[in-house]
Amino acid sequence: MEDGTCLVSSTARSSSFRGRAAGSAAASRSHSRKLEACEQLFNRVNERFQRCDVLVNNAGATRAGAFLELPDAVWLDGFALKFFGCVRLTRLFWPLLKASQGSVVNIVGGAARTPDAEFLIGGAVNAAVANFSKGLSKLGNRDNVNVNVIHPGNTDTERQDELRRQRAAALGRTVDELRAEALTKSNMRRFGKPEDIAALALFLCSERARHVQGTAIAVDGGATPGHH
């Protein structure tokens, strides 16, 4: 995915996010590398709804590959899309989220906790977003806005297929080899599905999760080593 994806929900808080679905939501694949694109999205939502209950930041496209073959421009692009896109959209929507006592969920990634030599940009960007989210949750306590992080592991998406191709090229191996090795090394039963991530995001945005604040939860089938 080359763009940032942002989900904005604008509806009164209910006992579950399923209840919120009766209201209105706007999903946008925006070029969040640019401040102007973030401002355009905010203006569209604000003009139409005048409120925001839920902001989900989810952006991919940070490059995998051999460290010596990744120039500055690729590093800067990775931070522009995922880190600064998240910061800008959250800053813009924060007053609306404060007014609605809403929720922010940042979809980050397991590389924030488990760096990989062929995914240095993604790991660094993910760690930055996770740190930003934790710090922001302190402001969230004051403003009554929940801020949490989801760290997806290996999940069957087009984005994951793209990363495997980039890693395979860097290592001189095949995509099928890396796919099989990922399951074997992590002792996972299967790869994740987008629905696994969505289910947790729905919970974190519900009233039942109101006391879950400033946390980062891995959805990776137990692949993350160590204790977090």
Contact criterion met (CB below 8 Å) for 130 and 112: yes
Q: What is the mean pLDDT of residues 176-189?
A: 79
Least confident of 2-11, 66-75, 124-133: 2-11
Question: What domains are there in the chain, each with its CATH number?
Answer: 4-219 (3.40.50.720)
Q: What is the pLDDT of residue 16?
A: 43
**What strands, in cross-sheet order, belong to the sheet with 24-30?**
24-30, 4-10, 54-59, 103-107, 146-152, 216-219
pLDDT digits (tens, 9 = 90+) for 19-65: 444 456 665 555 678 999 999 999 999 999 999 999 999 987 788 89
Contact criterion met (CB below 8 Å) for 110 and 160: no
Higher confidence at residue 182 or residue 92? Answer: 92
Contact criterion met (CB below 8 Å) for 54 and 9: yes
φ, ψ for residue 101 (rounded to 5)? Answer: 55, 55
Cα separation, 96 vs 147, whole angstroms: 14
Strands of 75-214 (E only): list them.
Answer: 103-107, 146-152
Higher confidence at residue 102 or residue 221? Answer: 102
